[in-house]
Structure 1
Amino acid sequence: MQEKSIIQIIKEGEGLTTEFKRTIDSPFKIARTLVSFANTSGGSLLIGISDAGAFLGVASELAELKKLEIATSKLIEPKLTIGIKSILLDGKKVLQVEIDESPDKPHYAVNEKDMKIIYIRVKDKSIPIPKLLMQGETDADLEKLLASRHVKTLITYLREQDSVTARVFSRIINISEKRAERMLHDLAEKQVLLQISRHKPQAFSLKWAK
């Protein structure tokens, strides 16, 4: 398969395998992004590009590289190898960081409290996986829930849509709205879903799915 050019990547915008950064805020934050790509499908991180895809360039290439070096050498376990290219776009220097899906996954990102957390990509976000859901540590009830036809249908829907309400969910799987609401709250408690609005109608998005 032909490799995409950086211009093609920018035109397509942020998503599962692409993220733009004006600058690296901190080694801790960038470690999460790198880990999420490595733990999912790999991807491209472009530094010096706005969220809207504008070419901003980096103020100091060395400063950005130092933060990447700290992230990869000290804040990711097991160690992760990345590829870095420096590219000129309209006279502005942009860093293209390539991360392959890792054969050594899962990788952990070390946070500011020295905790190790696994991140994955969900749409255009780097999302933490709760400890409950790490390899083989799911409880029996959750395993049963994730294997159910209704929950599989919900997960498929949320991979295409940003959120779901109890009313919409009830119509999709043909159950009562009250039962759908209980199921959504149960999945949120088990940290499979993320409740994104507290007011009525409550909406939920996908946090993680097996």
Structure 2
Amino acid sequence: MSKSIIQLIKQGEGLTTEFKRTIDSPYKIAKTIVSFANTAGGNLLIGVADNAALLGVESELKELQKLEKALGELIEKKLLIRVKSAQLDGKKIMLIEVDESPEKPHYAINEKAERIIYIRVKDKSLPIPRLLLYGEGDADTGKILASRHVKTLITYLKETDSVNAKVFSKIINISEKRAERMLQDLAAKQILLKISRGKPETFSLKWAE
């Protein structure tokens, strides 16, 4: 059962809660929604200041129009959210509930039409480190990306959304245990994104092209 709007405001901003005075732009809201879906889910309260003061929204319709554009045009793969509203101290507060997605990673499209994966870190929505194959990142990362097994894995993940140790071990003909260690190591080095907590663990690429 979801927490009440009052409880969420009292709790303050954090990993799963963010306050916004208003939806500044569809791009910014897409980023926040994606970061919640890619991490642990979350609640976005519109009409609330950073210090938890209740400001209210002037027009619920205007906020919903920006939200609709974000969901319809600026988020890949599509996400379903829940929108609620309540009157608190005579002010209209909107609550957007986002579940952790079983289909992550999701991308937010920015003003430059770039597809970027965002995750939630503490109370911020941050882009994944973009360890692209363009020599970004440190020398150690460069070496890893240049290795034959990792190149094979990256090629596979560009065509398929995710991989687990069993599949990876068959692709490069090594033991499943060794494949598991390699995948965990690549996730620790911010090259892969761990996308499932269950067994078998699955991984996807951790950058946007």
TM-score normalised by the chain length of structure 1 = 0.63
Match of 1:72, as an amino acid? L
- The corresponding residue for 2:15 is 16
Q: State how far apart, in whole Å, the 1-side matches of 2:2 and 2:36 are.
A: 17
Supply the AA of the counterpart residue of 1:121.
R
Corresponding position of 1:128: 127
Match of 2:51, as an amino acid? A
Residue 99 of structure 2 is aligned to residue 100 of structure 1: yes
Is 1:50 matched up with 2:49? yes
**Partner Cα separation in structure 1 for residue 2 and residue 115 of structure 2:** 33
Are residues 49 and 141 of structure 1, via their aligned partners in 2, closer, same or farther at CA, if it must alter by over 3 Å? same
The 1:4/1:111 distance shift into structure 2, 3 A limit, reads same
What SS is found at the alignment partner of 1:131? Answer: coil
Q: Do the aligned partners of residues 10 and 72 (structure 1) sit closer, same or farther apart at CA in structure 2, a change above 3 Å counting?
A: same
Are the equivalent residues in 2 in contact too, given 1:86–1:94 (CA < 8 A)?
yes
- Aligned counterpart, 1:79: 78
Structure 2: distance between partners of 1:3 and 1:61 = 21
Superposition deviation, residue 191 in structure 1:
8.4
Residues 125-169 of structure 1 deviation map (CA, whole Å, 9 limit, x = unaligned): 000013328xxxx99934999xxxxxxxxxxxxxxxxxxxxxxxx
User: How many Å apart are 1:81 and its aligned residue?
Assistant: 0.6
TM-score, normalised with respect to structure 2: 0.64
Q: In angstroms, what is the RMSD of aligned CA positions? A: 2.8
* Structure 2 runs not aligned, ≥5 long: 145-188, 192-205
Equivalent residues, number: 145
Whether 1:30 and 2:32 are equivalent positions in the alignment is no
Query: Which amino acid is the alignment partner of residue 66 of structure 2?
Result: K
Structure 1 portions without partners, runs of 5+: 146-189, 193-207
- Give, in whole Å, the separation in 2 of the partners of 1:70 and 1:3: 25
Q: Show the 5 A alignment for 1:135-154.
A: 141-142=140-141
1:110 partnered with 2:101: no
Q: Distance in 2 between matches of 1:93 and 1:143?
A: 51
On the 8 A contact 1:132/1:139 being kept in 2, the answer is: no
Question: Structure 1 residues 64 and 140, CA, compared in 2 at 3 Å: closer, same or farther?
Answer: same
CA offsets 1:68-119 (integer angstroms, 9 cap, x no match) = 0000000000001110001111111111000000011000000001000000
Q: Report the Cα distance in structure 2 between the residues aligned to 1:82 and 1:140, rounded to whole angstroms.
A: 41
In the alignment, the residues of structure 1 paired with residue 55 and residue 143 of structure 2 have an alpha-carbon distance, to the nearest angstrom, of: 48
SS in 1 for 2:131: helix
Runs of 4+ in 1 over 6 A off after TM superposition: none
Q: How high is the sequence identity, in percent, across the aligned residues?
A: 69
Q: Aligned partners of 1:3 and 1:93: how far apart in 2? A: 19
Match of 1:60 in 2: 59
The alpha-carbon deviation at position 56 of structure 1 amounts to 0.7
Tell me the distance in 1 between the aligned counterparts of 2:190 and 2:38: 18
